Amino acid sequence: MGGNRAVVYKGPSRVAVETIDYPELVLKDGPGVNPLNVGRKCEHGVILKVVSTNICGSDQHMVRGRTTAPEGLVLGHEITGEVIEVGRDVEFIHKGDLVSVPFNIACGRCDNCKRGDTHICLHVNPDRPGSAYGYVDMGGWVGGQAEYVMVPYADFQLLKFPDKDQAMEKILDLTMLSDIFPTGFHGAVTAGVTIGSTVYVAGAGPVGLAAAHSAQLLGASVVIVGDLNEQRLAQARSFGCETVNLSEHDDLGEQIEQILGVPEVDCAIDCVGFEAHGHGHQHEEAPATVLNTMMQVTRAGGRLGIPGLYVTGDPGAKDEDAKVGSLKIRIGLGWAKAHSFTTGQTPVMRYHRQLMNAILSGRASIAKAVNATVISLDQAPSGYQEFNDGVARKFVLDPHGLISH
C-alpha cells in the first residue's frame, strides 16, 4: 500500500498533517516508540481504515507542550474504523467489520486484564502498566488521527457494531465510545452517582459534558457543572444541567447552596485535571484547585471520581513540585470527611458495550451533549487551535469523507 496521512505533533502549539508509513502488523521504531517495543509482532492485530477519530483534551495537553511528548509523535487515541486487513492469529474479527477501538491498549492475557482492569494492562507498555495510541510515555503505539492505523489484540479489544448501516447513521454518537463517553461514565460511576444523587462536575469540556450526561443516565436528580468558560457552560445547560461560572464566583459552596438549598453535593467528578485554574476574576493556574474544591463541597462519606488527567512530568508547571505531579492537596480534609477517590485511565471495555446499546436504542445522545462537529483531516490544525481557545465543540475528524454532514 501507499502512504498514510496523519496528524503529527510538531512542538508546543503546533500540529501538522503529514504522510507517514502505511501501518503493518508490527510496531516499528519512530517518535515516542519505547525501544523495548520496537519490532513487536502483532499477528493478533488488524489494520483499520479510519472512519472517525476525535480530538481529545488529553491530546491538547501534549500540543500545549505540557508533557514530555517528542516532536513527530502521531496523535490520536479515539478511533472508529473499518477492518481492511486481519492478522494471522485473529479469529473473531473479519474484514469489513465496523468497530470501536478502546483507547487503552490491553492484551487480554495478563492478571489485570483478566480482572477487567484493561486500563492497567501489564504487557503493552514496558515502562509501566497501561497504554494508549498516540500518547506520551504509553509504549509508542502509533496514533489514530490518520487514514489508517494498526490495532493489536483485535479479538479481545474491538467492539463490533452489529449493523453497519445503523452504525453509520449514529456514527457521531458511536465515535465517542472509544474514550470520552466511557470516561465520563466511569467518572460518574466511581463517584457513586445513583438515583436521586446531586452531582458536581468540574469542567465543561467534552469529558465534563459526557460525565454530566452520564450522571443523568444514572438517575441523578441535579447535575451542576462548573467552568470558567461561559460558552461551554451554555452547552451544559442545553441538556438540562445547572451551571456555575467560576470566573465570576470564588465560593462554589455558596453557589451550590443557591441551587440545592445546602452547600454540598452527594458526589463530584473532576474532568479538568492538572491544568486547573483557581476561581474568581483574577484566576491563575493552580493545579490542586479542583481536587481541593471537590472535597470542600462533597458531603462526608461521599465519593470523588477523577477521570481528569494528572501526569508525572509537566515541563510547563509553575513550580518544581508540580513538574513531577506533586500537588498541594488537602488530604487531611478528605480524610476527615471519609472521602473515597478513584483515579486513573478509564477501563473502556468495562462500559463500551452497554453504552453502545444505550446509543443504538436512543437512550443516550452523547453527540448532542458534547456538540460533535465533523471536520476533515486537513482541518485538524485549526480544530486544535479552536479547541485550545475554548470552543464548545467536540471535533470529529473524517479522514476519508465517509460521514454525512
pLDDT of 399 higher than 90: yes
User: Are both 171 and 72 inside the same structural domain?
Assistant: yes
pLDDT tens digits, 182-209 = 999 999 999 999 999 999 999 999 999 9
**What is the reported pLDDT for 1?**
55
Structural domain count, the chain: 2
pLDDT category of residue 89 using cuts at 50, 70 and 90: very high
DSSP state of 106: -
- Here the CATH number for the domain that contains residue 308 is 3.40.50.720
Looking up cell 516499528 gives 28
pLDDT category of residue 281 using cuts at 50, 70 and 90: confident
| CA–CA gap between residue 183 and residue 189 (Å, rounded) | 10
pLDDT category of residue 316 using cuts at 50, 70 and 90: confident
pLDDT of 297 higher than 90: yes
Residue 403 lies in a domain: no
pLDDT tens digits, 215-237 = 999 999 999 999 999 999 999 99
pLDDT category of residue 314 using cuts at 50, 70 and 90: confident
- Domain region containing 282: 180-343
pLDDT of 386 higher than 80: yes
CB 11 within 8 A of CB 70: no
**What is the reported pLDDT for 313?**
86
| CA–CA gap between residue 279 and residue 94 (Å, rounded) | 51
Residue 110 lies in a domain: yes
User: Are both 354 and 287 inside the same structural domain?
Assistant: no
User: Are both 126 and 102 inside the same structural domain?
Assistant: yes
- Here the CATH number for the domain that contains residue 128 is 3.90.180.10
Dihedral sign, Cα of residue 170, residue 171, residue 172, residue 178: positive
pLDDT tens digits, 322-372 = 889 899 999 999 999 999 999 999 999 999 999 999 999 999 999 999 999
**13 grid coordinates:** 502549539
pLDDT category of residue 405 using cuts at 50, 70 and 90: low
pLDDT tens digits, 139-181 = 999 999 999 999 999 999 999 999 999 999 999 999 999 999 9
User: Are both 246 and 387 inside the same structural domain?
Assistant: no
| CA–CA gap between residue 50 and residue 81 (Å, rounded) | 4
Whether pTM exceeds 0.75: yes
User: Are both 171 and 219 inside the same structural domain?
Assistant: no
DSSP string, 231-271: HHHHHHHTTT-EEEETTT-S-HHHHHHHHHSSS-EEEEEE-
User: Are both 304 and 219 inside the same structural domain?
Assistant: yes
